[in-house]
Chain A
Amino acid sequence: MVAWVRLAVPAAFVASMGSPAHAIQYLTVEQSRKLSFPSATDFVPIDAQAWKVASDGKTVGRYIVDHVIGKHLYIDYAVTLDAGGHIQRVDILQYREAYGGEVRDRSWLNQFVGKNSASTLRVGADIRNISGATLSCHHLTEGIKRIVTRYGKDGR
């Protein structure tokens, strides 16, 4: 046991240095915005959770931050819409649950890319379920569906 601690703790520390992410705060809003709109010049608040994004005076999309409950605790996430109201990117900002963090997987989140308010967004049909993260999958999908319905219509 002591030997294991001697080996594992430094190894984990070194491994940790390779990534800026923290255990539950995987991305800040600022980091997420930069990933979504690297060339944006303006983030104009629409309301308390949504921003209209402009680049050199031209609207390029919307950026929305929201949270849903996973199984027990809140999941903070961000949705990026392009100017036409299509989902451009989804990021998990904070995930607090003991289990189910697989929803942070980029290949799962990328399933939402290109969807819009007319998309069905149903787990098991066009969105894969992740075994062990069933409730997180469903709740995130429902939240994203609400966001794209609210902010994605007519590209408003």
Chain B
Amino acid sequence: MLGRRVESCVAAPRAHVCVCSTRKSVLAGAMSCAIAAATGFTPSAFAQSAEKKAQPKSAPTEITSQDLLRNIACLEQRLRVLEAQKAAGTTSRQSPPQNGGEQDPCTEKEPKPWITTTTAEHLSLKVDAAAPIGKDVATPPPPPPVEVISFGAYGEIKFGRLQNPDAGGQWQTGFDAARVVLSPTYAITKNIIFNAELEFEHGGIAVDSDDKLAGSIDVEQLFIDFKIHERFNWRAPGIDLIPIGYINEHHEPNQFYSVNRPELYLGLIPSTWRAPATRVYGLLGNGLNYAFQVSQSVEDFGDSFDKRTDANIVAPGPYVGGFSIDSALGLSRTPVGDFRQLNDTLAYAGRLDYQPPWLPGFAGSVSGYYSPNTTPRGAHADSGDALGKSSLTMLDAEFRYRVPERGLELRGEYVWVAFGNPANLRANNDGDDTNNIGKTMYGYSGEIAYHFPLGTILESEWEAVPFYRYTFENFQASGFAGADLNAPTGQGQMQFHTAGIAIMPSPKLVLKLTYQKAINNDPTGANADYVLGGVGFSF
């Protein structure tokens, strides 16, 4: 966990020098100072000895480089005198020789503080040399400590009671170690930075079935940033998040207040939506940032690897499509490994983020995604007929507004998805007349939250954030086309009332309690209500 704590290089207290009362200590101190100033080394034992002999308890006095130079010159002069006395065999005190019109550095008109060594603080004298009058001191600031690979982490734990739609809406009690993510970062150079996220979901996986683990371990992000210019940076090809909406790229649990991610990101935007991709990004203007990404397209294939051949085409027979009325785009993410993608298409995504200087506390973005073709190789209807091309377009607009110096926070988002040719979507040609998709999907949400400070508890500032969010989604808006009969049950039109409280002992930790009421137009109901607690962390 290197580098995870907040660090500050606030240095040692400022060094002081003290006025001494005896010439003997002056000589010793000045010599010590001269050596320290010249070499950066302080003979501490000698210094402490001198201090013990003659250290007065006078007030600290600041010293300038002129003082230091004067004392060194004086010391040099007195050494010459001593040498001359020794050579002459006399110990009588004589006036130092005068060099023409040169001023004697030991005869200042105004008394100056003599330098003596005092404590180990004296070491700072080597950086305490005053600047010449009228000139800047080009002492560089201390560089940050040497960068090493550092690991961040975030994760979510969920528990509580929820309705199981596959059990007719039966309420069940359960637990989910939803995810723990390790995120290594390494600055290869100051401008080339490695990032990755290694994710363990639902407890991970195990070979032995009696371990009862059916989660996953996967690489969620893997890329290297080339920081070229603040207006133009390049993220080299890797596994990158699609820059759409807000939560997809900022999905740590302290970024939202419900136990589960906001509903718009549970299908309509298939968070965490990642893909093989490269992007450029940077600053366009005051508070305005951009990102433009080219990625491997989503694909209308949501089944297992058993349903694709070694030739990387969809195997003959039934298969589940990537788009459906149940999970929207949730199954359409392309694989990120082993050249197993089923589609040659490149998709394009872009986002503009804006924090207007004239409206503090507000942040928003507009983003879009376009794939010319989402149909996988070998896509077919249940009849065996090949399915042709279909494009996909997604647009998103969202905002977040925390009223300055108030607890009120507002969020809103709108997402719209259009399929180029619904007649070529697998869901509309799979023999199931109830799961069909129309020409478009859309959804929107509005959220209100209020931040209540709870004071200092366990040495940190706690905060409680009650919230309410309303979400509407329509996964079959209009324009059905395909071989299936169109007999929707209404399950694609959904509303969610989500309310709860998030308690944040620190910005890195959140304790959540959420109730959600899910409503759809299916006569049997959505059967997806829940009361869940959660623990989330990110650091």
Contacts and interface: CB of A to CB of B under 8 A. Distances in A.
Given A19-B231, A21-B230, A73 B147 contact: yes
Nearest to A65: B141
Given A69-B3, A124-B453, A125-B405, A43 B507 contact: no
A154 B147 CA distance: 35
Query: On chain B, which size bracket covers the interface?
Result: 35 or more
Most buried by A among B147, B150, B249, B507: B507
A76 B507 CA distance: 21
Interface string A102-128: 100111100100000000001111101
B98 interface: no
B518 interface: no
A12 B255 contact: no
B37 to A, nearest CB: 13
Contact of A76 (B12, B15, B135, B144): B144
A40 B136 CA distance: 9
Interface stretch (B24-32, B38-46, B124-132): B124-132
A29 interface: yes
Given A66-B9, A69-B7, A12 B508 contact: no
Contact of B230 (A19, A67, A126): A19
B249 to A, nearest CB: 7
Interface stretch (B107-115, B286-294, B424-432): B286-294
Contacts of B255: 131-132, 134
Interface in A5-58: 8, 12-13, 15-16, 18-19, 21-26, 29, 33, 40-51, 57
A51 B539 CA distance: 33
B287 A69 contact: no
Given A96-B193, A106-B357, A107-B360, A24 B144 contact: no
A51 B137 CA distance: 9
B461 A49 contact: no
Interface in B275-310: 280, 282-283, 286-287, 289, 292, 294
A42 B134 contact: yes
A48 B357 contact: no
A29 B451 contact: no
Contacts of A138: 6, 507
A93 B531 CA distance: 46
Main secondary structure of the interface of B (DSSP, over half): loop
Contacts of A153: none
Nearest to B233: A23
Interface in B228-274: 228-233, 246, 249-250, 254-255
A44 B463 contact: no
A96 B6 contact: no
B190 interface: yes
Contacts of B11: 47-50
B6 A72 contact: no
A132 B246 contact: yes
A96 B226 CA distance: 11
A126 B407 CA distance: 11
A107 B139 contact: no
Given A96-B187, A124-B451, A135-B539, A130 B355 contact: yes
B129 A45 contact: yes
Nearest to B281: A98
A49 B141 contact: yes
A138 B451 CA distance: 16
A132 B363 contact: yes
B488 to A, nearest CB: 36
Contacts of A51: 137
Contacts of B463: 124
Interface string B177-196: 00000010101001101010
B190 A24 contact: yes
A49 B144 contact: no
Given A68-B8, A134-B507, A128 B360 contact: yes
Given A41-B133, A131-B255, A132-B246, A72 B185 contact: yes
Interface of B: 3-15, 124, 127-131, 133-137, 139-142, 144-145, 147, 150, 152, 183, 185, 187, 190-191, 193, 195, 225, 227-233, 246, 249-250, 254-255, 280, 282-283, 286-287, 289, 292, 294, 346, 355, 357, 360-361, 363, 400, 402, 404-405, 451, 453, 461, 463, 507-508, 538-539
Given A13-B232, A42-B137, A132-B249, 17 more contacts: A15-B231, A23-B230, A24-B227, A33-B136, A43-B137, A45-B127, A45-B129, A47-B128, A48-B142, A65-B142, A74-B147, A96-B190, A102-B363, A124-B451, A128-B402, A130-B363, A142-B6
5 contacts: A8-B280, A16-B228, A66-B10, A107-B355, A142-B8
The 5 A-B pairs of least Cβ separation, nearest first, read A23-B227, A65-B141, A72-B185, A12-B232, A74-B144
